[in-house]
Chains A and B, each alone.
Chain A
Amino acid sequence: MLKVLKAGLYLSIQDLGRFGHRDIGVPIAGAMDVESVKKANLLLENDENDAVLEITMTGPTLQFDAETYISLSGAHIVATLNNEPIDNYTVIKIGKGDILSYGRLEKGFRGYLAIKGGFQSEKLLDSRSQFYPVTKSSRLKDGDEVPYKETVSYEPKISEVKIDDHFDHNVLKVYKGPEFSLLSDGQLTEIFAKPYSVSKENNRMAYQISELITGHSHSMLTSGTLPGTIQLTPAGRMIILMKDGQTTGGYPRILQLSEESIAVLAQKKFGDELKFKLV
């Protein structure tokens, strides 16, 4: 078991997501930054869908009760194992009773902790991703325990890699959304000529953009939405749906983020600058 001594800001179990249940209104959930999860799992020779912990800004304090191997990825958050500093993208041996704790956030917003064989929490609707009401809670709390399998020895093919972070830039690649044609020339110029910033309203469901653009008075029937869908409210607010975002919505879907850009956005926090680029 992994014991959560302190959960930090927002700690949750995630795999790549819960697919095949949109028709009953269940969002995909899953890791916000899939790119980072895949890399961490690869280093441990895990399946890329093996469950990891997603750490948001302020990291947790965690204690392991059995031997295993871990790797960290995503945001750069100062991490220590029994008070010794450890790095992202390194295979780290864990002993019984070891304590992993996190400190200052240096870059990005979401860190990942992968474990040999993946975390073994209950699968519900084909996924371990925490999302209420599919799972009992959307996040881990102080004192929670997360099961994993003991691994006494493991010879990694590669024990450390230097990886350029995919989120070292602020350009989001977007495709035309289903209601793209509603945008006026003026709105198009606004969207693609100016930089924007991430609003305080940003979480696993959606990221809002701080600056308003020219609004609209178009009303439409509720229709499907996806992670990465950019909705435009009548007031001119751009809302980018993320992994826990609702499966349907009634605002025009003007743009759609590329999947790579969802992973980039997942590493942005309040105040960070963004630019949109049509592909």
Chain B
Amino acid sequence: MKSYPISIKPFGERAVLVEWPEKVSESILADILDFMDAFKELKIPGWEMSVAYNSLTMVYNQDHIDFEDTKSMILECHERQAKSKTERVQHLWTLPVCYDLEFGMDIEEASKTLGLTVDELIEQHTSHQYVVYGIGFLPGFMYLGGLPSSLEIPRRAEPRLKVHKGSVGLASKQTGIYPQDSPGGWNIIGNCPVDLFDPTKKAPCFVKVGDKIQFESISKAEYKLHKIEGEVGIYEPEKVVLNA
């Protein structure tokens, strides 16, 4: 497989920004993940990398870097990446969402704006798989792509000072879950009882960039059950391996 062209820019004293063509695309994301795998193969300690859509921020925590040296190392790695493809395990996670009005305070208004019934909105929101294009903004916040255009709705005119942890929102081409209480301007349509960030766990965030998410509508009773299961640490989100 041919890989996409990249550009490399300096980003302060110890980081570089590697950019792929500016598009939200699963094949570009796969290319970035291939590059990361190839770079990790080099086993150079001290580098950390984070993906967001079409870009990769690479930070060297141990020292200041020489941009030209770093650039040639990255280009070399990008060359080699095309030749050696690594197998990557990716998951499809099913995340429960309770769309009850108690949690989804904007769901009626959003349905009206979109020209759908509440049930149709839920049906559409739960029938698509969303690609995780990045994790950022807040610990455990997933940038999800693949929202159907029928669910595209502008942000609220006035952001709320407090959106509750677990709130599931819609805003233009995005849908997502607030992993903690936070100010926010998205239209809130439900709540997910699963902890997306738990610093006491070995892997505080179970989802990885490149994974997919599908939402599943649950009742209030199921919501409460999952919440309790989560609190006592016995809830395991449902997953299937995507590329087995």
Interface of A toward B, CB cutoff 8 Å = 19-26, 124-125, 132-135, 175-178, 220-224, 226, 228-229, 246-249, 253, 256-259
Complex interface: stretch among B7-15, B152-160, B226-234: B7-15
- Please report the C-alpha to C-alpha distance between residue A254 and residue B24 in the assembled complex, in whole angstroms: 22
Q: From DSSP, what is the main secondary structure of chain B's interface residues?
A: loop
- Please report the C-alpha to C-alpha distance between residue A221 and residue B14 in the assembled complex, in whole angstroms: 23
What distance in Å separates the Cβ of A242 from its nearest Cβ neighbour in chain B?
14
Contact B180 A133, beta carbon cutoff 8 Å: yes
- Please report the C-alpha to C-alpha distance between residue A34 and residue B227 in the assembled complex, in whole angstroms: 40
What distance in Å separates the Cβ of A103 from its nearest Cβ neighbour in chain B?
34
Query: Which residues from A are CB-within-8-Å of B11?
Result: 177-178, 224, 226, 253, 256
Q: How big is the B interface, by class?
A: 35 or more
Contact B50 A22, beta carbon cutoff 8 Å: yes
Interface centre among B17, B48, B52, B136 (most CB of A within 10 A): B136
Given B15, B55, B134, B139, which contacts A134 in the complex, CB threshold below 8 Å? B139
20 further contact pairs, Cβ within 8 A, besides A23-B209, A221-B54, A222-B52: A21-B204, A23-B49, A24-B139, A25-B197, A25-B205, A133-B199, A175-B12, A177-B11, A178-B17, A178-B19, A221-B22, A221-B52, A222-B143, A223-B53, A246-B136, A248-B50, A248-B137, A249-B137, A253-B11, A257-B12
- Please report the C-alpha to C-alpha distance between residue A224 and residue B50 in the assembled complex, in whole angstroms: 7
How many A-B pairs with Cβ below 8 Å?
A: 113
Contact A23 B53, beta carbon cutoff 8 Å: no
> Given the interface contacts A124-B199, A223-B55, does A248 sit within 8 Å of B136 by beta carbon?
yes
Contact A25 B59, beta carbon cutoff 8 Å: no
Query: Which residues from A are CB-within-8-Å of B166?
Result: none
B140 adjacent to chain A (CB < 8 Å) = yes
Select from chain B the residue with minimum beta-carbon distance to A177. B11
Contact A175 B10, beta carbon cutoff 8 Å: yes
Query: Which residues from B are CB-within-8-Å of A176?
Result: 10
B170 adjacent to chain A (CB < 8 Å) = no
Query: Which residues from A are CB-within-8-Å of B10?
Result: 175-176
Select from chain A the residue with minimum beta-carbon distance to B12. A256
- Please report the C-alpha to C-alpha distance between residue A86 and residue B140 in the assembled complex, in whole angstroms: 44
